[in-house]
Structure 1
C-alpha cells in the first residue's frame, strides 16, 4: 500500500507550502525594488541640487515692522516688543509657461523645467489704511519690505523685470522666510508713497524639478499655467477650474478667493499657526511619469504569489489528469524560475523600459520552464502545453499592470475564471483515492488519445 505522503491531499498540502515558501524570494525582490527606488530618489535629489528642487512660488507679501506694547502687571510703563506684520495683496495674477526636458543622473532620469513667470499684484490703499488703523501695534512704515517666497532659490535663474508703481526696482537676498520658504525682498517706503496703492509687476525665470506649486497670497488669485507635458497631475489644495490636455501638453487655469483658504489677509508674523496653514494652501502641478518602471515593478510583484500558485496548479493538474509524477523539488525549481522573472524584469526595465523588458523576461522564463517541463515529464507535448499556459499567465499579468484603474476588477474576474476552470477540470477526480503509480513512460501517456 502506498504511503500517506503519496496521497492527493498530501500533494496539495505540499504544493501549498511550497507556494508559501516562494513568498520569501518575492519579498526579497520587493525589497530590491524599494532599494532601487531609493537610489532613483537620490539621483533626482542630485539633479535638483544643481538645477532646483520642487518649486513653490507665491505672490509678493508686504511686511511692515511694528512695535507692540507688552502689558505687564505692576509696571507703570509697559515695555515695547519689536516685530512685524504681513499684509497680502488684493489681486494676484500669475502666468507661468513651463519649458520641460529630461535630465539624467547615471541610469536615472527626471523631468526638469524652466518656468517663465509673469506676476502682477495690487495692494489697495484702503487695505493699507484699514490695517494701519486696526492694528494694535505701531506701524513703522518707512522700513517696510515686499517679500517674494520662492521654494528653492537655487532655481531662480533670472529676474528680468521688477517694477513697483511703474518704477524699476531690484530684489535683494534675505534670511527672512515666509512659513517654510525663503524669500527675496525689496525695501519699500510706505510714507513716501503717501497712501497710494502699490502695484507690483515681476518677470522671472524659475527652474525646478518635477513639480511647481503656488501660494494663493491675495484676496483674489488667478493663475494660468501651461507646459508641453501630456501627463500632468494637478495637486494641492485646489484643482484648476479649467484645463485642457492633448498631445502637445496641458493648459490650466485656477481662480481662488481668500474665502477658500484658512488664513486671512493680515497676520502677525510670530503666529506659529501660519506655517501649517500656508503649507496646506499650496496648489499646482506635478510632472507625472506614467511609465515609471518602479511603480509597474511593484504592481507586478503584488501578483507574484498568485501567478506562482497558478503555475503550480497547472503542474498539479497534469499530475492528476494525466497521472504523471512531479517531485516537490521540481516544483521548487519551477518556483525559483518564476521568482527570477521579477529580478530580470527589474534589471532590464531600468535599461530598456518596462514593455520590452517584460516581453524579454517573460519569454525567457516561459522557454526555461517549458523546456524543463519537457525534460522532467519526458513529453514534448506536455512541455509545450505548460509553456503556453505560462505565457497566457504572463499576458494576463501584463494586462493587470497596464489597466491601472480597472486592475482590481480584471484581477477578480481572472481569479474567478481560474477557480471555475479548476473546479471543472477536477470535477470527476476521487480525492480520497491514492495517486496511482504509472507503469507507462510519461511520453506514452501523453500520446494517448
Structure 2
C-alpha cells in the first residue's frame, strides 16, 4: 500500500483531490459576488427612491362609472351595484425624447433619464356610443375620467401641456389603478360630448431609472423614441419596426395594432385576466450597461476550477518529465494564490473597471506563482516558463469572458486542445512507476534541469 501511494497514478489522484478542494474557496468567491450584486441592487433602489424607478407610461383611457341592478336572493327589490367601463382610444401617438445621465450611490452608479413625452390620443364618437349602450349597465357619463397610467409617480416632474378637445385641463391625483400601475386622472363630462370625438394632447416630463416601457392602449399605437445612449436593450412584447444605433445614441419606432395584444378596446372592471394582459403587453427600452463587472466576475468564476486544474497539470508535467518533486502543500499554496485572483479581481473591478482590474490581478498572480515555482522547482527557467503558461491561461480566460456569443465554442476548443496536449506529453509515462527522486538542483544550473545546453 505504501509503495502504491508513491506512484504517478496516486500523485495524479491526489492532485485531482486538491483541485476539487479548491472549489470551496471558489464557491465562497461566488457568494461574495452575489453579495456585492445585491449591494448594487440596493444602491440602485436608493437612487430610484429619490429619482423614479423603472418607468411605464401608457395613453389616456376613458373610464366611466356604471350602475347595474342586481337581483338579491330572498328580496323582491334588486339592489344597485357600482362598477366601471374602460374604453381605449382609436389612435395613440407617443413621441419620447430621453436625456440620460448617471447617478451614484457610494461606489455604485446607474443610468437615469428624464423623458419628454408627447402624447396625442383620439377617441371616436362611435366607439363611445357603441359601448355606452352595450350590456345592462347604466353609464354615469357626468362622472367619467381620463386615466393616464404611470409606473412610478415619483418621477413625474412636469406637465407642460394638457388639453382635452383643445381646452386646457388639469390632472388630479387618484387612488385608482389601471392594471398594476397608479394613475393620474382628468374628470370629463360625457353628457356634454354626445356624438363628439375626444381629442387629448399631453406633454410631460418623466424621470426614471434604467428602463422605460410603454403600453399599447389604442386601436393603433405609434411610438417614436430617441436617447443619447449607445447600448439600448429593446425589451417587452414588441420589438421596434425600425431602429438605428450609433455612438451618439439610438432612435426607434414601434407601430402596434389592437390585433397584436390579448385584450380588446373595451372591458368592464370585473373582467378577469385584463390586469395580467396589460402587464404582458408592455414594450420599450432598457438602458443596458455593457460593462457589468459582476456579470463578468461571475463568468470568470465559472472557469475557475478548469484553470486551477490546468495550472496543477502544468506543475505535474514539470514534476514528472523533469524528475522533480513538488509537495501537495505546495500545490495547495499555488491553488490558494489562484483562488485569491478572483477576490482581487472583484475588489479592483468595482473601483477601476473590469479590464484594468483583470490586468492587475492576473499580473500579480502570475508573478507570485512564477516566483514561487522558481523556488519550488529550483530552476529559474522552469519558473519563468510556468509563469508564461499561467499568463497564457489568463489571456485565454479573458478571451472567453469577452466573447459572449462564442464563449462556449472557444472554451470547448481550448479544453479539447488541452486534453490532446496532455495525452501527447504523457504518452510515455509509466503510471505504475514510482515517482523518481532527483537530487537537489541549484538555481545556477537551470539549463541542466530544463534539458538545455
Question: After TM superposition, what 4+ stretches of structure 1 lie above 4 angstroms from structure 2?
Answer: 442-445
Name the TM-score, length of structure 1 as normaliser.
Answer: 0.98
Q: Is the 8 A contact 2:382 2:450 kept in 1?
A: no
2:413 equivalent to 1:413: yes
State the Cα deviation string for residues 75-100 of structure 1 (Å, max 9, x = none).
43321101111111011000000000
Matching residue of 1:29: 29
Q: Is the 8 A contact 2:64 2:84 kept in 1?
A: yes
Q: Is the 8 A contact 1:63 1:144 kept in 2?
A: yes
Cα deviation for residue 274 of structure 1 reads 1.5
State the Cα deviation string for residues 120-167 of structure 1 (Å, max 9, x = none).
000000000100111321001011000000000000000000000001
Name the TM-score, length of structure 2 as normaliser.
Answer: 0.97
RMSD: 1.2
Alignment of 1:314-325 (within 5 A): 314-325=314-325
Matching residue of 2:398: 398
Cα deviation for residue 3 of structure 1 reads 2.5
Matching residue of 1:89: 89
Query: 3-state DSSP class of the match of 2:127?
Result: helix
Distance 1:424 1:371 in 2: 27
Alignment of 1:31-430 (within 5 A): 31-430=31-430
Query: 3-state DSSP class of the match of 2:133?
Result: helix
Distance 1:169 1:273 in 2: 32
Listed as ranges, the gaps of 5+ residues in structure 1 are none
Q: Which moved more, 1:436-445 or 1:287-296?
A: 436-445
Cα deviation for residue 378 of structure 1 reads 1.3
2:451 equivalent to 1:448: yes
Distance 1:177 1:65 in 2: 14
State the Cα deviation string for residues 191-210 of structure 1 (Å, max 9, x = none).
11122000000000000000
Distance 1:418 1:193 in 2: 78
Cα deviation for residue 2 of structure 1 reads 7.0
Cα deviation for residue 70 of structure 1 reads 1.4
Distance 2:71 2:361 in 1: 75
Q: Is the 8 A contact 1:234 1:285 kept in 2?
A: yes
Listed as ranges, the gaps of 5+ residues in structure 2 are none
> Aligned pair count?
449
Distance 1:300 1:71 in 2: 67
Q: Which moved more, 1:237-246 or 1:267-276?
A: 267-276
Distance 2:213 2:188 in 1: 27
Query: 3-state DSSP class of the match of 2:289?
Result: coil
Q: Is the 8 A contact 1:377 1:442 kept in 2?
A: no
Q: Which moved more, 1:396-405 or 1:255-264?
A: 255-264
Query: 3-state DSSP class of the match of 1:134?
Result: coil
Cα deviation for residue 236 of structure 1 reads 0.6
State the Cα deviation string for residues 350-376 of structure 1 (Å, max 9, x = none).
000000000000000000000011111
Cα deviation for residue 22 of structure 1 reads 0.4
Query: 3-state DSSP class of the match of 1:262?
Result: coil
Q: Is the 8 A contact 2:379 2:441 kept in 1?
A: no
Cα deviation for residue 427 of structure 1 reads 1.2
Distance 1:112 1:216 in 2: 24
Distance 2:272 2:41 in 1: 31
State the Cα deviation string for residues 214-271 of structure 1 (Å, max 9, x = none).
0111111111011111110000111111111111111111111111111111111133
